[in-house]
């Protein structure tokens, strides 16, 4: 892995060019261009705010705690982070099959293609950060939130999430070349993960529920649970994950990265033959 990381770093300019090309191709025929990367999560946030912040405001407020008075910020922080994850999951499956000609022509590490998809979606997340910061500033001026040292949770969240997404991207991109059903399965998995992760609802809602203990423990094994808690904790310190959940997310993400890297290199000869 150390050799592979060094190879990726030596080809970082190629990675930058690939990311720039993917973004340009994705939005080249769009009138609004990059604004679409903001419109979709903001639209989803508006829908969920109407459902949980208006129709079920009383039930939602009981579990949100300090976030009850600034629920739109809670939603945006979670949905922006989720858009990066879900887009990376869905696009990583076709990272190799959709660029077969480039892979066979360019003399670059093949890992650069799935990693490039993760990096491209991260660029879209960064484009939405000014909106997130702007909304947070409004609530801070109103005294609804008081961010401080807790903001350091955001870089940690981004680092752990990037680790997880790169591992998943490496695994999915290689397996999808050999089994094209992976792309279809991931559509269902992504939908299930959205509701099995505290994005639009607080983790306390799950912990206080009447669900069996084993189911709650299984729920928290999902690395995205701790990652989303870190995203929320940047603005709401009380949401910072406890030591067990934090270790689960960090170790789980590292294990996924190692597994994805090993699987990618183990399958690489068969993938190149198939391409």
Query: For residues 4 and 172, which has the higher predicted lDDT (pLDDT)?
Result: 172
Q: Name the domain count of the chain.
A: 1
Distance (Å, whole) CA 275 – CA 28: 27
The answer to whether residue 109 is domain-embedded is yes
pLDDT band at 77 (very low <50, low <70, confident <90, very high): very high
Distance (Å, whole) CA 116 – CA 214: 37
The answer to whether residue 89 is domain-embedded is yes
Say if residue 54's pLDDT is above 80: no
The answer to whether residue 158 is domain-embedded is yes
Cβ neighbours of 119 (radius 10 Å): 21
Burial class (CB in 10 A: 0-12, 13-18, 19+), 210: exposed
Rank 47-61, 77-91, 142-156 by mean pLDDT and report only the highest: 77-91
CB 76 within 8 A of CB 231: no
Say if residue 224's pLDDT is above 90: yes
Q: What is the pLDDT of residue 57?
A: 65
Q: What is the pLDDT of residue 68?
A: 65
Q: What is the pLDDT of residue 154?
A: 94
Contact residues for 12 (Cβ-Cβ < 8 A; gap 6+): none
The region of weakest confidence among 7-16, 107-116, 127-136 is: 7-16
Q: What is the pLDDT of residue 145?
A: 83
* Residues above pLDDT 90, as percent of the chain: 31
- Of 208, 204, 193, 274, nearest in space to 245 by CA: 204
DSSP states along the chain: -HHHHHHHHHTHHHHHHHHHHHHHHHHTT-SSGGGHHHHHHHHHHHHHIIIIIIITHHHHHHHHGGGGGGHHHHHHHHHHHHHHHHHHHHHHTTTTGGGHHHHHH--S-TTHHHHHHHHHHHHHHHHHHHHHHHHHHHHHHTTS---SGGGGHHHHHHHHHHHHHHHHHHHHHHHHHH-THHHHHHHHHHHHHHHTSSSSS-HHHHHTSS--HHHHHHHTTSHHHHHHHHHHHTT-GGGPPPHHHHHHHHHHHHHHHHHHHHHHHHHHHHHHHH-
Mean pLDDT, all residues of the chain: 84
Query: For residues 233 and 59, which has the higher predicted lDDT (pLDDT)?
Result: 233
Q: What is the pLDDT of residue 14?
A: 79
Q: What is the pLDDT of residue 256?
A: 95
Q: What is the pLDDT of residue 33?
A: 61
The answer to whether residue 1 is domain-embedded is no
Q: What is the pLDDT of residue 6?
A: 73
The answer to whether residue 25 is domain-embedded is no
Question: Tens digit of pLDDT for each residue in 8-50?
Answer: 777 778 788 888 877 777 666 665 666 766 777 788 888 888 8
The answer to whether residue 143 is domain-embedded is yes
Q: Using alpha carbons only, how large is the chain's radius of gyration in Å? A: 19
Query: For residues 46 and 103, which has the higher predicted lDDT (pLDDT)?
Result: 46
The answer to whether residue 189 is domain-embedded is yes
Q: What is the pLDDT of residue 244?
A: 94
Burial class (CB in 10 A: 0-12, 13-18, 19+), 92: buried
Say if residue 143's pLDDT is above 90: no
The answer to whether residue 212 is domain-embedded is yes
Query: For residues 264 and 11, which has the higher predicted lDDT (pLDDT)?
Result: 264
Query: For residues 164 and 142, which has the higher predicted lDDT (pLDDT)?
Result: 164
Say if residue 55's pLDDT is above 90: no
Domain hosting residue 196, numbered range: 12-20+32-274
Q: What is the pLDDT of residue 80?
A: 92
């Amino acid at each position: 892995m150390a050799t592979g990381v060094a190879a990726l770093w030596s080809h970082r300019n190629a990675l930058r060019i690939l990311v720039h090309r993917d973004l340009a191709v994705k939005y080249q025929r769009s009138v609004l261009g990059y604004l679409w990367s903001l419109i979709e999560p903001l639209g989803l946030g508006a829908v969920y705010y109407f459902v949980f912040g208006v129709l079920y405001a009383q039930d939602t407020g009981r579990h949100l705690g300090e976030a009850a008075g600034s629920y739109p910020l809670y939603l945006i922080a979670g949905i922006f982070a989720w858009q990066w994850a879900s887009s990376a999951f869905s696009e990583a499956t076709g990272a190799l099959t959709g660029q077969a000609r480039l892979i066979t022509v360019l003399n670059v590490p093949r890992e650069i293609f799935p990693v490039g998809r993760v990096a491209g979606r991260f660029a879209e997340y960064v484009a939405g950060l000014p909106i997130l910061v702007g909304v947070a500033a409004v609530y801070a001026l109103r005294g609804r939130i008081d961010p401080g040292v807790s903001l350091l949770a955001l870089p940690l969240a981004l680092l752990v999430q990037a680790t997880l997404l790169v591992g998943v991207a490496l695994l999915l991109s290689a397996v999808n070349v050999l089994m094209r059903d992976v792309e279809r399965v991931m559509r269902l998995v992504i939908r299930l993960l959205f509701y099995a992760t505290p994005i639009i609802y607080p983790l306390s809602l799950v912990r206080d529920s009447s669900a069996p203990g084993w189911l709650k423990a299984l729920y928290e094994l999902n690395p995205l649970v701790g990652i989303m808690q870190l995203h929320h904790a940047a603005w709401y310190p009380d949401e910072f994950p406890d030591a067990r959940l934090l270790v689960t997310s960090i170790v789980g993400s590292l294990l996924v990265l190692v597994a994805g890297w090993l699987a990618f290199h183990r399958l690489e000869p068969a993938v190149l033959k198939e391409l």
